[in-house]
Structure 1
Amino acid sequence: MHRMNALDAGMFFAENGTTPLQIGTVSVFEGPAPEYPELVREIFARLRLAPRCRQRVRTVPFNLAHPVWVDDVHFTMEDHVRHTAVAPPGGPAELHDLASRLLGRRLDLTRSPWEVWLVEGLPDGRWALISKVHHCMVDGIAGIDLLAVLLDTDPDWTPADPHAWTPAPEPSTRAVLRDGLADGLKGFAGQATRLFTPVLRDSVATAKAVPAYASRLLNSGTSSLNGPTVVSRRWSRAHAGMDEIDTIRRAFGGSVNDVALAAAASGFRDLLAARGALTSSSVVRTLVPVSVRSTGERGELSNRVSALLCDLPCGEDDPLRRLQSIRDQMDGLKSSGQAAGADSFVRLAGGAPGLLAAAARTALRLRQPLIHTIVTNVPGPPFPLYSMGRRMLEMDPYIPIAAGLRVSIGVVSYDGGVSFGVTGDHEAVPDLGTLCAGIRDGIDELLKEVPSVPAHWKEDRTSSTREERT
């Protein structure tokens, strides 16, 4: 048995009928598509490198400790690797519609919480993998690590050799309870002094972060982005070249994340304007997850993230001033200890598993009006990856929505490109295309401020933006 950390457990308990908490990717490959049985065999052979994918969650009676991962004695590949085809003509609109339906559908948490769909029917013989995994298993970086296990860096593919696997016997309820209590009490008497210091440190870090959070939550801001949601989701994407983002960074300073947030601000500006809700003071308060995963924790399938709050200045009509505002905020937040405080709060709450379970169930179901969206940026590999010898052409992220949020944005870099995967509530955000086109416009606006940008970039991007709007 392997016990979840506090954030993993919180993600597990927060799941409900209208809040499926899986993250995912839509990956497009060059053709031809593999045969379905061939793909199943290849994934099965590689699962020995990701044993968590053959485990399921067991809760501890009365939530006296965090849940544990145990081998799934009923594990079958057919429950996790599926096969479908996109509707004709198989273009981006049809693929996005299919991805919306598959990614928004809840995972069965009585099984190992992941799925991969082989999708055929794309133009030019291309095909796709739509994958999703529950947030209790991975965060964004761990999700990229998991994807890397299933893909190759070398186009020369040799089929992996399947290895027989026998699950460990299912532990009894008594054993799960006994080990949970033991983990909770382990070393308490003998290590009280050693435990006191990190708890005190976490308490101080949490207290220091409270003013920074509170000051940003005093103004409720843009209300149309919050409210009740339904089960169904919409999903689409915007795209930029890493060379474009690097050009902007070199000209005006800042990080890749700052430029991505500025592009998101442009997208929300266009969305609010189209809804007649844009004013000169409009801000979209954004939760920005940041990784607190150490180098030694890379490859571990768990959640190691904290978060910052950033106000996207959507009412500002100058794209450079929007970027500068975001840069100033993010630089200040990183030095304020806000991220450390949020991480410390989770660790402190994790000391009371029953309280954490109740709090998680409540927190992500609340329709709070103070945070309007989430924008998370995960660096992917800057080199091409291959599945069974076929090059991956695109990798687009899917991020869930919860706690009254109706829109989320995931940003992933891969092989010279940056993809913005945008998730929206199906009923509340029928204008998701406006947001996606506005993100692309935000990149173009900043490029136009750079004197040395090649003229053909501006022409090419203007035509592609028109296509995204239609």
Structure 2
Amino acid sequence: MALMPFTDSMFLLVESREHPMHVGGLQLFRKPDGAGPDYLRGLREDLIKNEDIPQLFRRHPARPVNTLGYVAWAQDENVDLDYHFRHSALPQPGRVRELLELTSRWHSTLLDRHRPLWEIHLVEGLRDGRFAMYSKIHHALLDGVAALRHLQSTLSDDPDDHDCPPPWGTPRPPRAKSAGGTGSLLRTARSSVEQLAGVAPAALKLAKEAFREHTLTLPMQAPKTMFNIPIGGARRFAAQSWPLSRVREIASATSTSRNDVVLAMCAGALRDYLIEQRALPDAPLVAMVPVSMRGKSDGTATGNQIGAVLANLATDKKDPAARLSTIHHSMREAKRIFKELTPIQALLLSGINVAQLGVSTVPGVVSNTRPPFNLVISNVPGPRKQMYWNGAHLDGIYPASVLLDGQALNITLTSNGDNLDFGITGCRRSVPHLQRLLLHLDTALAELEHAVK
């Protein structure tokens, strides 16, 4: 058994039927030229022969320790690949609508803790001839950034490469060199203590920026909305792609970042959706924007290394250009402060932004307090060029994320070659007509283009 980091243990502790704690993703592929009717069955049969399963995909929680919960990982030496890698078919007429409905159901169900915490579904039956793959893995094993990096490691930029590994077959990342000896352990401990000692001054700096300079968005400034209520366990999932070039052109014309434009696009869509629902608050919505704390050299590292900043979405402003300007200023100031902190300080102070979520399952907390923020909007870097999986052309990568009490909506997107692929996850009971957000995203992008001409 291996000891479990505290963050991983917490993801298992807070999970319930109403709050599945897995991240997922839907990928769309075009079959290689000449693929026959048995292509997918043959592909699955070939892949399932690969029993070189890395440690990550063998993990499941060891027996909990009384009130301490889960504190260690156990290893499954005989992984049942027939259970974890499943072959499914869509009901007719095989539209993307049926695929998204099926994805919504899969994303609503809990993973079996007696088995390694992942599932993959290979899906045929789309009437346009494409096939899909839905995968999910527990957040205790991988965060969203690590999950996407893992996916990319199974892809190839060569359409003639038919030796791509299965999703569970990626070679293990190289082991970190052992520091060895008490001296190095003491150095590590001393470094951590020194960084922790800097948390209080860093917190004072944040307070000064927030209250004297009025430059930072802090928790509990968000208005109460229809998204900030207790949720049920059923999910809805919607997905769509937009050309990256459209976002890039707006960013260039306004001297803002592409992520600023994406946030403005989401802000416009949320404003229109809430107006449609007669539920737009007077105060601007606040988004929590995850930022990766990994270095580029970290590869497909496991675990969770995510920080958090808060962004003013300016949904109280009617003018799209004014919304973008406010969002740009809000994100610029948050990132400036973030860069002045050490990694451990940034992680700990990020915890301030999300601390209230830790007690969101306590009865009455969500209903009787202001939310720390209104929703999560996450932009995860993806492949920069056209990718293939065993000769199949990757058309789309649509992330599906975690929801919590008080957080009934999540928007996660990733870059994919020349496109931005959006995945929207919502509580089925609390967010009606979730697919309408896709229409509003398209409208918001067009309005931004018109505003900056």
Distance 2:350 2:241 in 1: 38
1:410 shift after superposition:
0.3
Corresponding residue of 2:40: 35
**Alignment partner of 1:35: what SS?**
helix
Which of 114-123 and 330-339 deviates more?
A: 330-339
Higher helix share: 1
TM-score, normalised with respect to structure 1: 0.80
Distance 2:277 2:188 in 1: 58
Deviations 1:373-417 (A, max 9, x none): 100110100112222211111111111111311111001110110
> Which runs of structure 2 are paired with 1:377-388 in the superposition (5 Å)?
377-388=379-390
Distance 2:218 2:164 in 1: 51
1:364 shift after superposition:
5.7
Structure 2 letter corresponding to 1:254: T
1:211 shift after superposition:
6.6
1:298 shift after superposition:
2.2
Deviations 1:133-173 (A, max 9, x none): 111111122111211233222222344799xx9xxxxxxxx
Distance 1:269 1:245 in 2: 19
Inter-CA distance 226–64: structure 2 relative to 1 (3 Å threshold): closer
Unaligned 5+ segments in structure 1 are 166-184, 351-357, 452-470
Matched, 1:128 2:132: yes
Corresponding residue of 1:251: 253
Inter-CA distance 300–430: structure 2 relative to 1 (3 Å threshold): same
Unaligned 5+ segments in structure 2 are 170-181, 212-216
Matched, 1:99 2:96: no
1:97 shift after superposition:
0.7
Corresponding residue of 1:430: 432
Inter-CA distance 270–160: structure 2 relative to 1 (3 Å threshold): closer
Counterpart selection for 1:234 from 236, 243, 250? 236
Contact 1:46 1:150 in 2 (8 A): no
> Which runs of structure 2 are paired with 1:155-234 in the superposition (5 Å)?
155-159=159-163, 193-206=190-203, 208-209=205-206, 216-234=218-236
Distance 2:433 2:98 in 1: 17
**Alignment partner of 1:237: what SS?**
strand
Corresponding residue of 1:305: 306
1:118 shift after superposition:
0.7
Structure 2 letter corresponding to 1:308: V
Structure 2 letter corresponding to 1:82: R
Distance 2:43 2:102 in 1: 23
Matched, 1:56 2:53: no
Corresponding residue of 2:93: 89
Contact 1:267 1:441 in 2 (8 A): yes
Distance 1:436 1:76 in 2: 38
**Alignment partner of 1:397: what SS?**
strand
TM-score, normalised with respect to structure 2: 0.83
Contact 1:27 1:130 in 2 (8 A): yes
**Alignment partner of 2:241: what SS?**
strand
Inter-CA distance 270–249: structure 2 relative to 1 (3 Å threshold): same
Structure 2 letter corresponding to 1:380: G
Corresponding residue of 1:456: none
Distance 1:429 1:128 in 2: 25
Corresponding residue of 1:318: 319
Contact 2:308 2:350 in 1 (8 A): no
Contact 2:309 2:350 in 1 (8 A): no
1:110 shift after superposition:
2.3
Inter-CA distance 359–9: structure 2 relative to 1 (3 Å threshold): farther
Contact 1:103 1:132 in 2 (8 A): yes
Contact 1:206 1:341 in 2 (8 A): no
Contact 2:225 2:280 in 1 (8 A): no
Contact 1:36 1:118 in 2 (8 A): no
Inter-CA distance 267–21: structure 2 relative to 1 (3 Å threshold): same
Contact 1:26 1:129 in 2 (8 A): yes
Corresponding residue of 1:292: 293
Structure 1 letter corresponding to 2:302: L
> Which runs of structure 2 are paired with 1:353-392 in the superposition (5 Å)?
362-363=359-360, 367=366, 369-370=370-371, 371-392=373-394
Structure 2 letter corresponding to 1:36: R
Deviations 1:73-130 (A, max 9, x none): 3421022111211221111211111111111211112221111101111023211001
Matched, 1:13 2:9: no
Contact 2:321 2:452 in 1 (8 A): no
Distance 2:340 2:431 in 1: 30
Structure 2 letter corresponding to 1:110: H
Distance 2:314 2:327 in 1: 8
Which of 99-108 and 59-68 deviates more?
A: 59-68
Corresponding residue of 1:25: 25
Distance 2:348 2:420 in 1: 32
1:305 shift after superposition:
0.5
Which of 266-275 and 432-441 deviates more?
A: 432-441
Inter-CA distance 306–341: structure 2 relative to 1 (3 Å threshold): farther
Deviations 1:246-290 (A, max 9, x none): 1111111211211111011011101110111235x3421111100
Contact 2:398 2:421 in 1 (8 A): yes
Distance 1:43 1:340 in 2: 46
Structure 2 letter corresponding to 1:295: K
Contact 2:231 2:406 in 1 (8 A): yes
Matched, 1:139 2:136: no
**Alignment partner of 1:217: what SS?**
coil
Structure 2 letter corresponding to 1:381: P
1:310 shift after superposition:
1.1
Distance 1:378 1:300 in 2: 15
Distance 1:13 1:112 in 2: 17
Matched, 1:118 2:115: no
Contact 1:203 1:348 in 2 (8 A): no
Corresponding residue of 1:149: 153
Identity over aligned residues, as a percent? 27
Distance 2:343 2:11 in 1: 15
1:342 shift after superposition:
9.6
Inter-CA distance 295–275: structure 2 relative to 1 (3 Å threshold): same
Inter-CA distance 114–413: structure 2 relative to 1 (3 Å threshold): same
Inter-CA distance 69–236: structure 2 relative to 1 (3 Å threshold): same
Contact 2:30 2:131 in 1 (8 A): yes
Contact 1:208 1:341 in 2 (8 A): no
1:3 shift after superposition:
3.8
Distance 1:134 1:71 in 2: 15
Structure 1 letter corresponding to 2:259: N
Distance 1:37 1:15 in 2: 36
Corresponding residue of 1:72: 76
Inter-CA distance 297–40: structure 2 relative to 1 (3 Å threshold): farther
RMSD: 3.3
Contact 1:373 1:406 in 2 (8 A): yes
